[in-house]
Chain A
Amino acid sequence: MIKHRVILYQALIIVLLSQVLSSCSFCSRQDVDLSQELIVPDSVIQNSTPQVSKAITDQMMQNISSPVETAALIKGLKIPFNKNFLASTKQADWFNTNFEKAFALGLYGCDLGYLNMYEKTSFVVDYISVIKRLADDIQVGQFFDFSTLKRLATNNENLDSLILISQQSFNRIDTYLSETNRSMLSAVIVTGVWVEGAYLSSRVAQISNHPKIRETIGEQKVILNFLLALLKVYDNDPSMAKLITDFEPIKKLYDQVHITYELGEPEMIEENGVVTFKQTDKQVIEMDDELYNKLITNIQELRSNLLKL
């Protein structure tokens, strides 16, 4: 009887310890001294691809390309909505491997951002259905709040929540993939978002001469350098190596784009209790028309190639 009690007490202690350790989410963060690892951004805007550690790439994934910002920039130029810019949901069946599905997830995620921004809820259900299916296929469907999104879209209610929940779903997917050592798929999702965002911008560039869209195309050089730095972390994977190769032509073109900066001191303005810091740095992008047009064509070719069109 005493022996049984000792065994039970030992079991109790083990259970307690394992619970305490598993609930200590912060403990794992202390493994990485981020303050030492983050001094990299200067090199990122150079032509050479920066070396970035995996700890950093895991954190940067979500921020590299955002469907919300891209769509907002396009909408801000008063460019009308165009359904033809988007990838057809019928093409979702063409993606077979987890790698391809992750890419498609990012791509349709970007399209969802565009639809949400233009409040085209009638198309949203189609896209969230495809996204949910792709997310299920790569075992992250539980983080995509399909039922809430469907309700919001169907009832045309609270469109801000539609954007919020879409974004949060993708952030949770990213976090989960990172926690389960599948960060490579996160990188592929981000690639899908970037390719579709760049494609949307390129389509807009063909119908608008607005200098901002020209600048948006040009500054993709900065984002692309980040993206390639992330992808190269996983270049021992054959699918990733091929993806990086697919980016080579556009990388060579972007190497010809010159971006320079004039630094200034930020200005702080306080109005009605709201503090706004206004950056005064200037970004100057130099590229001739020929290069600009080549970039547009190349972005579209890259997307067609990756979409198997």
Chain B
Amino acid sequence: MKYIYDMHQMMLKNNVILVYEGEFTQEITKSVLAMAERNMDSIGEESGIKRKVFNVMVECLQNIVKHGDDYISGEIKINTAIFMIGKHKDSYIITSGNPIKNEQIDALKSKLDEINSLDKDGLKTLYKDIIKGEVGLTNKGGAGLGFVDMARKSGQKLEYGFESIGNGHSFFALKTTVPRG
């Protein structure tokens, strides 16, 4: 039973206020958002910060929902992912992790590196270019628009990493920091 205590300690140590592991759907997204909102309301978080955290959470969660069904490898369904929010004295940390195919690493990396190389105005221009450039909306949407928005709303660089998990897949971890006040 010790793992329960360990898990609790780990969450406290990392200031994790919410973790979800499993399959991601629109319904789950709504529930996670509602819980996080309630949490922020209960401590009287400033409305501007709340909005930014909400923004980043939505893009993060919907990214996973949208791409979740890409990662079915053979018999084993590996579309489960993790989503976490940490609340620190001076920031909220929104993290997610989900499996991706190895051949997607390069495209993701170059998208994120491009976003991280841009300043506020550069991100604004990129955002506008993406929304007007797309004709209609493909099922998968995106073209990295969610990442651009996460960078804009947080005002911070997006941190990321890839862990090889075998079977031609890697675990894609993404971390966004929203400063408080």
B is bound to A? no
Residues of B within 8 A of A (CB): none
